[in-house]
Structure 1
Amino acid sequence: MDQRTELSEFLRSRRARLRPEDVGLPDTTTRRRVPGLRREELAQLAGVSTAYYTRLEQGHGENVSTAVLDAIARVLRLSPAERDHLGRLTKPARRRAGRAAARPQRVRPALQQLLDAMEGVPAYVLGRRLDIIAWNRLGTALLGDFGAMPPEQRNIAWNVFLDPAARELYEDWEGKASDVVGILRLDAGRDPDDPRLASLIGELSVKSADFRRLWAAHGIQDKGHGTKLLHHPVVGRLSLEYETLRPAGDGDQVLVAYHAEPGSTSAESLRLLASWAATEFLPEPGGGERTADGRADQATR
């Protein structure tokens, strides 16, 4: 990913989403050639010259100060995740060049044991580029048979955009897809030189018009928490809360767990799904570390 192009397009997209009245400027009737704030308006509000901001928006962010970035982020109303992304785009020295491609993704045996012990809670672990690197049986029953997927398809973004079943599973598929793209772009800012990430983005761009549309919007989204409405082929409609937790020892991994409100219809449906899964899916053998291709690490068996 070219950092200068990314910086330029990101700033333009954030500027285009603001109206003058959003930042306290008078709502004039002057016709604008493009939507959003003008460069000179944003520069004035941020306390920098128009020439300085123009150079930044053209992708030249090598020497920009933290104070200027904070001022621009304030005017653009960037979220914390967007502000962090902007900082990475303007500070190449912070990049982790080649690290993502070099180090294999594994979960600790104790973390896999924790997943397996969460019998009533669908859960999985995501690694870099939204790869699914560990899961429990109920997670498989809820979201798909991860173990049966080819390694290159064991990825949340691949599933959301290229597996037709995902459009049936997520009631708000557009919202889910938008979140996934925002997280993937955040990962691209962290590891712009990861060839596997570039390959994934390329494949999704070629095969999915929806991905191309959402990717062009330059949305940024960090992993978080919320509610998902699902239409499961076995137990029907589910309203589930999800939480994202970061295990100690690897900043690239997150554990995502779903749960239902106690006593709700969805809680009962989860119990039914767990009973179905107990007979439909066999336990994973070994219980050791898993690599990104889903195999247990033989050395830990």
Structure 2
Amino acid sequence: MTANDLGGFLRSRRERLTPEAAGIEPGLTRRRVPGLRREELAELAGVSVGYYTRLEQGISASASGAVLDALAAALRLDPAEHEHLRVLAAPSRPVRARSRRSRLRPSVRDLLAAIPGTAAVVLDHRADVLAWNALGHALLAGHVAIDAPDSAVRPNLARMLFLDPHHRALYRDWHAKAQVTVASLHQAVARHPGDTELERLIGGLAADSPEFAKLWARRPVRTCSFYVRDFDHPVVGPVTLANETVTLPDDDQRIGLFYARPGTADADALTLLARR
């Protein structure tokens, strides 16, 4: 899964880019591979075919900033993909065998309790639930025990999204949510090479969910902290909520906040859910 992340990412973006989009005349001969050929991309980026081939095959594990910028421009990468490419190619990317359990700071738990009108959940880089407030639990996982984050096996929202039919049914646009989740896991792998628990999670999802395996192979990358989520909740029915994600300083953890504009039907639905 992690032996050649840089090469796999480059190949996925090369195969995605059509000659027309890259400004290359397609020619009259039939193309045997999707997207650009290696020699075409190398020429666009101003590097030798041999050097680019070594990058893609994992023989060379790093590249200079100038080469990465040239490849990003040639591949038409967006800012999030460009940054992901830099992370994957970092020569000093530390291997941290982080199989240890993530810890939640008490102050963050206090913060969740202080915002009862907003559904809130704290996740680590593996999408393990470290904590949620009562409304966050009721919104996202009312069918599991509220103290489940304190148990030996924490709920994992990525696993629930693909394998738990109750959680999956919450999202009206499940496919969009799935793409964001897989993208987040790809970025987590880049930041935490050697995390055996993360590797086990991804391997299990790929084995148990063909949908996850297919999305994972596409290597989606995106960075966005704000979404509008459409839910079909078993208690309050259809509800549309803003979803803001806040990254915690000094921790690879984030708080997901779900809220509605005051005075709207969606806000009334959240109030009803909080009461029940």
Do both share a fold (TM > 0.5)? yes
Deviation of the 1:171 alpha carbon: 0.5
Query: Does residue 1:101 correspond to 2:94, yes or no?
Result: no
Q: Distance in 1 between matches of 2:28 and 2:137?
A: 55
Q: State the structure with bigger RCO (CA 8 A, min sep 6), 1 or 2.
A: 1
Q: Aligned pair in 2 of structure 1 residues 253, 63: CA closer, same or farther (>3 Å)?
A: closer
AA aligned to 1:12 is R
> How many angstroms does 1:61 deviate by?
3.2
State how 1:18-37 maps to structure 2 within 5 Å: 18-37=17-36
Query: Match for residue 128 of structure 2?
Result: 131
Distance 1:130 1:175 in 2: 17
Cα 1:153–1:249 shift into 2, 3 Å: closer
Give the deviation of 1:21 after TM superposition. Answer: 1.6
> Is the aligned partner of 1:3 residue 2:7?
no
Q: Which amino acid aligns with 2:102?
A: Q
Is 2:189 the partner of 1:191?
Answer: no
Deviating runs (4+, > 6 A) in structure 1? Answer: none
State the 1:217 CA deviation: 1.1
Q: CA deviation at 1:29?
A: 4.5
Distance 1:27 1:265, change over 3 A: farther
- Describe the SS at the equivalent of 2:275: helix
Alignment of 1:223-242 (within 5 A): 224-242=225-243
The letter of the residue matching 1:52 is Y
- The count of aligned residue pairs is 272
Identity of aligned residues (%): 46
Structure 1 residues 7, 63: closer, same or farther in 2, change over 3 A? closer
Look up the match of 2:272.
Answer: 272
Task: Tell me which residue corresponds to 2:257.
Answer: 257
1:177-198 CA distances to partner (integer Å, 9 max, x unpaired)? Answer: 1111111111111112111111
Any conservation in 1 of the 2:122–2:129 contact (CA below 8 Å)?
yes
The separation in 1 between residues aligned to 2:25 and 2:114, in whole angstroms, is 59
Q: Which residue of 2 aligns with 1:142?
A: 139
TM superposition shift of 1:27: 4.5
* Closer, same or farther: CA 222–153 of 1 in aligned 2, 3 Å: farther
User: How big is each residue's C-alpha offset from its partner over 1:160-187, in whole Å with a ceiling of 9 and x where there is no partner?
Assistant: 0110112311001111111111111111
Note the aligned Cα RMSD (angstroms). 1.9
Q: Provide the rounded CA distance (Å) in 2 between the counterparts of 1:229 and 1:255.
A: 19
Matched residue of 2:242: which SS?
A: strand
Unpaired segments of 5 or more residues in structure 2? Answer: none
Residue 3 of structure 1 and its aligned partner are, at CA, apart by 3.1
Query: Equivalent residues in 2 for 1:49-88 (5 A)?
Result: 49-88=48-87
Give the corresponding residue for 1:48.
47
- Answer yes or no: is the 8 Å Cα contact 1:171–1:229 preserved in 2: yes
Deviation at 1:32, TM superposition (A): 1.1
The normalised TM-score by structure 1 is 0.84
Deviations 1:90-126 (A, max 9, x none): 234222422x224x42222221111111111001111
Contact 1:101–1:196 under 8 Å retained in 2: yes
